[in-house]
């Protein structure tokens, strides 16, 4: 029986006080207790840290240098520990290239699908791949029994090189030219001037024959191959009975209407993280930086003399302010008129400059771009910058050649704009037939299965092209859950940190189904959780406490939910028994209101809300309803003037706000020197007090 459970003996990390407990293998174990009672220390800093340490120690010395190495936990022994995987609640992704599609690996499968079964379209028609075999077969089918000439275009070049080209072709055995009327001329009999005159209107004759499908297949294939070689991938088929209408053929994916050559579809072509597929203008980001004049001139009611231009109002911008004043006096632009009252030509002069002595606001920022090696320049550029959709790809991130490939009439950029729920419906309607089914059936099945997994964890409202760094911690954790459930790992240990964070009550049952699906594959699931619905559904429960910090770190109870519920001293047991009531609302006087008008960022549809000041305001709704977008992106981003703030018409009442403080679950610092006293600034007063002592003053010691 001991081999069927993980045993932890005398765990002492952080505030744990010699905790010894057991975790059944192949079951869902919930670690509960009051906040700061040691739950995460037991699950992550002890259990997962030891599992990761054992895995790293099994690798070579060379491989270890590339992996994060967690410190050895303070514990006497951990027995029967399987390979461990941690799924944390925080969203640690900051890269703009990471999207929901790349994080769930759905985009990898989509690229494979488009490479295998995608159809290239150009000029309103499908582009077929022209190979030697396909062109030879089509030639035999179309021109069987008809006299046919096969020619290749002459290589371009200056007229003075015509004689050398003619002599070289004759020496290589290609001495006949095929004219557009179907006649043939001997190149050796032509003068250099006559050969140069025919160079653009004639083809190099490769072969003339009456194709017989039964006997001439090898001959036609050889002629086509030599034609592509001589013509740089182009050749002409000229029937003798219709010489005025030659058929031009291009090797590879080439449009017969416009002659555009398309690359052969491959997965790298559809990746915005690869040079083959990324848009050349935006380099795969889908957006380009631009100067935000609304931030450069935040108050249009101010005059140019009254420092209306924000970057010129700083001490470092005084020389530019003097240059502006001289240029305006020289050009007759008034300095005492509000910016909003200036006409279009005057504002254009201030922004764009005159091309001479006055460089303009835009010229000032172009000068800063050349000094990006300095931190101050980069900060100033970022402060007055916004991002606009790429004018070349329109935000699709990909080259036009990639967007020309379609599956069921949809290019991969349009497929990436679908939500996961819409993607599931689109994939369900794809019917592959013939050779396409042989190439892409397994890929399509894998796509449908992984999409269904993402829908199981409640991510159906997210679009594939949504950046991961814009997701909440709970959404990022569920993406990791979907990836884990979509994999094929068994006999592993999954450690999760409050997966119900950010979930509406109606979605908790769906989350439990996902956790049970991971368990039913033979894995062990350990969850740090407070939600009563998940605590009550556990197979095994470990309750820590009885309090927080120094008052916690002890094992209060463990066992089944029924056994813990009956424990008299457990706070978790009291919550399960319904003995802990909710807080009562205290009345407070209202001090005005903030009003967000016309919020339309991401999935918000022209939302107008009023937030009373001096009150505790809760923004609720189902997962994916737009709560974080409204508060974090629109409200806080608008009050702070962030470059990537959410779009809205206006925020009314902002003059009553002096500062917007954002409290997120992300750890405030990553430095090993950081601790609660430094983050809360408590040490600053202590340092000043020590610096004020007589001994410190005698030694000249400052608070630093």
Q: Quick one: pLDDT band at residue 434, thresholds 50, 70, 90?
A: confident
- Left, alpha or beta for 700 (phi > 0: left; psi -120 to 50: alpha)? left
Which three-class secondary structure state does DSSP give residue 587?
coil
Which of 245, 101, 242, 231 is closest to 156 using CA atoms?
Answer: 231
Predicted pLDDT at 243? 53
Burial pattern 320-344, b for ≥16 Cβ within 10 A else e, equals bbebbeebbeeeebeeeeebeebee
Tokens 């737009």 label which residue? 626
Check whether 666 has a pLDDT greater than 70: no
Q: Could you write out the DSSP letters of every residue in 281-331?
A: TTTTSSEEEEE-HHHHSS-TTSBTTTT-SGGGSSGGGHHHHHHHHHHHHHH
Please give the mean pLDDT across all residues of the chain. Answer: 87
pLDDT tens sequence across 254-313: 776 776 788 889 999 999 999 999 999 999 999 999 998 888 998 889 999 888 899 998
- In this prediction, residues 339-362 reach a mean pLDDT of 90
Predicted pLDDT at 2? 45
What's the rounded Cα separation, in Å, for the pair 259 and 256? 5
Least confident range of 57-61, 373-377, 429-433: 57-61
Predicted pLDDT at 583? 63
pLDDT tens sequence across 455-487: 888 888 889 999 888 887 778 878 887 877 776
- In this prediction, residues 195-206 reach a mean pLDDT of 81
pTM of the model: 0.74
Which of 459, 446, 554, 608 is closest to 106 using CA atoms?
Answer: 446
- In this prediction, residues 593-603 reach a mean pLDDT of 90
The residues near 347 (Cβ < 8 Å, ≥ 6 apart) are 339
Other Cβ atoms within 10 Å of 258 Cβ, number: 8
- Left, alpha or beta for 61 (phi > 0: left; psi -120 to 50: alpha)? alpha
What's the rounded Cα separation, in Å, for the pair 193 and 447? 62
What's the rounded Cα separation, in Å, for the pair 11 and 77? 8
- In this prediction, residues 166-174 reach a mean pLDDT of 83
Instruction: State the virtual CA torsion across 51, 52, 55, 56 in degrees, nearest 10.
Output: -150
What's the rounded Cα separation, in Å, for the pair 150 and 156? 19
Residue 395 in tokens: 């935000």
pLDDT tens sequence across 297-310: 988 899 998 888 99
What's the rounded Cα separation, in Å, for the pair 567 and 545? 13
CA distances from 365 to 70, 277, 454, 576 (A): 44, 31, 44, 61
What's the rounded Cα separation, in Å, for the pair 541 and 22? 10
Give, rounded to a whole angstrom, the gap between the first and last alpha carbons of the chain: 59
pLDDT tens sequence across 667-690: 666 677 888 888 888 999 999 999
Which three-class secondary structure state does DSSP give residue 46?
helix
Check whether 101 has a pLDDT greater than 80: yes
Strand partners, 288: 388
Check whether 387 has a pLDDT greater than 80: yes
DSSP 24: E
Question: Which runs of consecutive H residues, i.e. helices, occur in 372-507?
Answer: 375-383, 400-403, 412-416, 420-428, 434-456, 473-486
Predicted pLDDT at 538? 93
Predicted pLDDT at 244? 55
What's the rounded Cα separation, in Å, for the pair 400 and 669? 42
Residue 169 in tokens: 């072709």
Packing angle, helices 508-520 and 434-456, rounded to 10: 120
What's the rounded Cα separation, in Å, for the pair 691 and 259? 79
Q: Quick one: pLDDT band at residue 582, thresholds 50, 70, 90?
A: low
The residues near 519 (Cβ < 8 Å, ≥ 6 apart) are 26, 27, 28, 525, 539
CA distances from 361 to 75, 165, 387 (A): 62, 57, 18
**For the chain, percent of residues with pLDDT exceeding 90:** 38
Which of 430, 492, 420 is closest to 456 using CA atoms?
Answer: 420
What's the rounded Cα separation, in Å, for the pair 114 and 103? 19
Check whether 1 has a pLDDT greater than 60: no
Predicted pLDDT at 621? 85
């Amino acid at each position: 029986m001991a081999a069927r459970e993980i045993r932890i003996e005398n765990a002492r990390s952080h505030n744990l006080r010699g905790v010894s407990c057991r975790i059944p293998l192949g079951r869902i174990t919930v670690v509960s207790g009051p906040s700061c009672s040691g739950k995460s220390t037991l699950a992550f800093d002890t259990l997962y840290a030891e599992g990761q340490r054992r895995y790293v120690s099994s690798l070579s010395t060379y491989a270890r240098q590339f992996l994060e190495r967690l410190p050895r936990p303070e514990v006497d022994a951990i027995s029967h520990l399987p390979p461990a995987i941690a799924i944390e609640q925080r969203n640690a992704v900051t890269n703009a290239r990471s999207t929901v599609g790349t994080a769930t690996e759905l985009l990898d499968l989509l690229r494979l699908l488009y490479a295998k079964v995608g159809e290239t379209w150009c000029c309103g028609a499908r582009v077929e791949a022209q190979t030697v075999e396909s062109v030879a077969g089509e030639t035999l089918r179309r021109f069987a029994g008809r006299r046919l000439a096969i020619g290749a275009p002459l290589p371009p070049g200056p007229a003075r090189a015509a004689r050398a080209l003619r002599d070289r072709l004759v020496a290589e055995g290609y001495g006949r030219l095929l004219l557009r009327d179907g006649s043939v001329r001997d190149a050796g009999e032509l003068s250099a001037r006559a050969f140069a005159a025919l160079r653009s209107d004639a083809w190099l004759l490769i072969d003339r024959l009456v194709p017989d499908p039964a006997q001439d297949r090898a001959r036609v294939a050889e002629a086509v191959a030599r034609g592509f070689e001589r013509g740089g991938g182009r050749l002409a088929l000229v029937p003798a009975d219709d010489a005025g209408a030659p058929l031009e053929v291009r090797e590879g994916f080439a449009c017969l209407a416009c002659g555009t050559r398309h690359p052969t579809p491959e997965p790298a072509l559809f990746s915005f993280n690869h040079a083959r597929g990324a848009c050349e203008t935006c380099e795969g980001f889908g957006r380009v930086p631009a100067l935000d004049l609304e931030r450069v001139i935040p108050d249009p009611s101010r005059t140019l003399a009254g420092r209306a231009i924000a970057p010129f109002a700083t001490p470092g911008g005084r020389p530019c302010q003097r240059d502006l004043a001289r240029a305006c006096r020289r050009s007759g632009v008034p300095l005492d008129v509000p910016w909003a009252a200036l006409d279009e030509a005057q504002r254009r002069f201030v922004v764009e400059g005159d091309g001479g002595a006055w460089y303009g606001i835009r010229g000032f920022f172009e000068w800063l771009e050349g000094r990006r090696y300095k931190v101050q320049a980069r900060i100033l550029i970022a402060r007055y910058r916004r991002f606009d959709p790429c004018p070349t790809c329109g935000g699709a991130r990909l080259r036009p050649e990639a967007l020309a490939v379609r599956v069921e009439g949809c290019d991969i950029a349009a497929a990436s704009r679908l939500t996961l729920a819409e993607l599931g419906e689109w994939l369900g309607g794809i019917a592959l037939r013939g050779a396409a089914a042989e190439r892409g059936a397994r890929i399509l099945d894998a796509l449908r299965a992984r999409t269904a997994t993402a829908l199981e964890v409640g991510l159906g409202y997210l679009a594939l092209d949504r950046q991961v760094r814009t997701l909440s911690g709970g959404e990022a954790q569920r993406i990791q859950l979907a990836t884990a459930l979509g994999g094929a790992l068994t006999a592993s240990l999954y450690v999760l940190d409050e997966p119900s964070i950010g979930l509406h009550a109606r979605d908790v049952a769906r989350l439990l189904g996902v956790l049970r699906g991971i368990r039913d594959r033979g894995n062990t699931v350990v969850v740090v959780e407070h939600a009563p619905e998940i605590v009550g559904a556990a197979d095994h429960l470990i309750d820590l406490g009885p309090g927080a910090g120094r008052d916690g770190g002890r094992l209060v109870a463990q066992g089944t939910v029924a056994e813990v519920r009956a424990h008299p001293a457990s706070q978790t047991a009291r919550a399960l028994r319904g003995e802990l009531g909710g807080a009562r609302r205290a009345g407070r006087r209202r001090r005005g209101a903030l009003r967000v008008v016309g919020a339309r960022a991401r999935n918000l549809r022209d939302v107008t809300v009023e937030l009373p000041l001096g009150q505790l305001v809760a923004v609720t709704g189902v997962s994916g309803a737009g709560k974080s977008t409204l508060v974090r992106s629109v409200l806080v981003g608008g009050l702070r003037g962030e470059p990537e703030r959410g779009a809205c018409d206006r925020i009314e009442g902002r003059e009553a706000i002096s500062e917007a403080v954002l409290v997120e679950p992300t750890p405030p610092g990553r430095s090993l020197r950081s601790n609660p006293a430094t983050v809360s600034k408590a040490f600053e007063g202590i340092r000043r007090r020590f610096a004020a002592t007589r001994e410190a003053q005698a030694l000249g010691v400052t608070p630093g």
